[in-house]
Amino acid sequence: MLQNFKIQATLALMISIILFFGAGAQMALAQESGRVYIDVGRAQVKRSLIALPPLQFSGSNASNQENIQLGQELFSVISNNLTVSNLFTFIKPEAFLENPAEVGLRPAPGDPKGFNFQNWQTIGTEFLIRAGYRVTRNEVSLEAYVYFVPQGRLIFGKTYTGPRTAARRIAHTFSDDILLNLTGRRGMFNTRLVLSTDREAGRGQKEIWVMDWDGANAEQITDHKSIAISPTWSPDGKKVAYTAYAYHTQARTRNANLFLRELDTGRRLLLSYRRGINSGANFFPNGQHILLTLSQGGRPDIFRITADGKSIQPITRGPAGAMNVEPAVSPDGRQIAFSSDRSGRPMIYVMNVDGSNVRRITHAGRYNSSPSWSPDGRQIAFAALDKGSFDIFVINTDGTGLKRLTDAKRRNGTSAHNENPSFSPCGRHIVFVSDRDGNRQLYIVSPDGSNERRLTFDSHNYYQPKWSPFLN
């Protein structure tokens, strides 16, 4: 079952990234340290004009259908990634002043058959991507260049090589490199999602799946044949903790136990099986401790356990029998956001990691849940029940700056539910679940409420997605 995931997990080692040196003067310009071409903050006001011509195929068997489809997949993934980044406006191919298929990937006069910078400057191009690929047996190579057209400058050029099965990974890696070189910030295109779903599960059952951030390469990682929920990533992205209703032979009943799955080995460990609920796990940044909610036959409270499940420490106790659930550790490991009904209705609170200095930060609607920290620790995304439906909000950690991100309608005109937000590791996107089209599907949105788009298009239901950390 984990074969495909193992392949994905080792691709970083299998893909060799080789610097491809162009003309000496151009490479010297491209190696300026600390150069940022796009200010991410200003990009919300003005997107950069980018040209992405079709990829050129080099080698024999240009008419081979598999080779054509491979090139189309590479192009499609790169194009989708750059679109989702919300940093660019694509120049339409009909505006091109030269035929990219008839000129080389590098500029003239260095390459006698190269492209002409002037043709791209005339149509206002800021960034030009020239890329080609070749296929040798079961290996694919992507040769790619990114140019800053106003100055005729090569920003970077690389050749990415790996097995044919790594085509999407290669395209994601190139896309990550584009963002890093243009903005100075790492892209999230090689990250993944973990979630609970009824996909290929029995009636009334849910299992834990992982998939690429864009919904591709989905794979089931649990097989409890019951209900598996509330997954979360370890800080290194190599393990997933989750809750599953497991059968206890002596008690002859099922209990909500906490499990840990090692993704590279497939090994499953039982971390907490105390009577009642063992759920809502969240790792500390150092990976040595885990927060979770335990009910132990009474009202749920938040506890801290070691990553092996052997040592446990209570963090909250009520007050007055209050419910404390869904703990989320801040990126610096110093604070915990959680949901509690201690004020009468479930709202989002923040406290120190030892349970002290509890303060309420939300007052939105009638029910607030599932807090998620932004990577910089400045905002918290959460779901709030407001006017009969849940929507996604963000708020500053001091309780200011509340902003609604979603407000969708179902086909019958009623308000849709939008729930379970999770920040991307780059902080530029939030994944969430919405039932606006019938089933609970995955969507993403920017923290300012723009660039909303759907990720999954099927008849399944998805729950509690969590965005992975950056994966090497």
Q: What is the pLDDT of residues 436-462, one digit of tens each?
A: 999 999 999 999 999 999 999 999 999
Q: Give the integer Cα–Cα distance in Å for 452 and 203.
A: 31
Last residue of a domain, one of 150, 183, 216: 183
* pLDDT-based confidence at residue 10 (cuts at 50, 70, 90): very low
Q: Give the integer Cα–Cα distance in Å for 18 and 356.
A: 51
Same domain, 131 and 255: no
Contacts of 466 (CB under 8 A, 6+ apart): 193, 194, 195, 231, 232, 233, 422
Q: Give the integer Cα–Cα distance in Å for 388 and 367.
A: 10
Same domain, 308 and 401: yes
Same domain, 69 and 155: yes
CA dihedral 67, 72, 75, 78 (to 10 degrees): -100
The pLDDT, as a whole number, for residue 196 is: 98
Q: Establish if 302 belongs to a structural domain.
A: yes
The mean pLDDT of 309-325, rounded to a whole number, is: 94
Same domain, 18 and 45: yes
The pLDDT, as a whole number, for residue 15 is: 44
User: Two tokens at 428?
Assistant: 């530029």
Q: Establish if 145 belongs to a structural domain.
A: yes
CA nearest neighbour of 454 among 438, 469, 433: 433
Same domain, 98 and 222: no
Last residue of a domain, one of 157, 183, 209: 183
pTM of this prediction?
Answer: 0.92
* pLDDT-based confidence at residue 13 (cuts at 50, 70, 90): very low
Per the structure, the complete domain to which residue 223 belongs is given by: 192-467
The pLDDT, as a whole number, for residue 257 is: 96
Contacts of 25 (CB under 8 A, 6+ apart): none
**pLDDT tens digit sequence for 23-43:** 333 333 334 445 889 988 765
Q: Establish if 333 belongs to a structural domain.
A: yes
Same domain, 259 and 288: yes
Pick 268 or 298 by higher pLDDT: 268
Instruction: Quote the distance between the C-alpha of residue 139 and its chain's center.
Output: 27
CB 415 within 8 A of CB 443: no
Q: Establish if 387 belongs to a structural domain.
A: yes
Last residue of a domain, one of 127, 159, 183: 183
Same domain, 201 and 164: no
Q: Establish if 434 belongs to a structural domain.
A: yes
Mean pLDDT of the chain: 91
The pLDDT, as a whole number, for residue 45 is: 61
CATH number of the domain where residue 27 is located = 3.40.50.10070
**pLDDT tens digit sequence for 372-387:** 999 999 999 999 998 8
Same domain, 331 and 460: yes
Answer whether residue 9 shows pLDDT above 70.
no
The pLDDT, as a whole number, for residue 36 is: 86
CA dihedral 397, 398, 400, 403 (to 10 degrees): 10
Same domain, 207 and 151: no
**pLDDT tens digit sequence for 199-248:** 999 899 999 999 999 999 999 999 999 999 999 999 999 999 999 998 87
Same domain, 145 and 238: no
Beta-bridge partner residues of 253? 248
CATH number of the domain where residue 393 is located = 2.120.10.30
CA nearest neighbour of 1 among 247, 178, 261, 294: 261
Count of residues making up the chain: 472
CA nearest neighbour of 210 among 226, 201, 197: 197
The pLDDT, as a whole number, for residue 62 is: 67
Same domain, 161 and 243: no
CB 125 within 8 A of CB 91: yes
Same domain, 424 and 457: yes
Q: Establish if 472 belongs to a structural domain.
A: no
* pLDDT-based confidence at residue 428 (cuts at 50, 70, 90): very high
Q: Establish if 298 belongs to a structural domain.
A: yes
Q: What is the DSSP string of 388-427?
A: TEEEEEEEETTS---EE----B-TTSSBPPEEEEEE-TTS
| Percent residues over pLDDT 90 in the chain | 82
**pLDDT tens digit sequence for 270-292:** 999 998 999 999 999 999 999 99
- Domain count of the fold of the chain: 2
Q: Establish if 451 belongs to a structural domain.
A: yes
Q: Is 101 exposed, middle or buried (0-12, 13-18, 19+ CB in 10 A)?
A: exposed
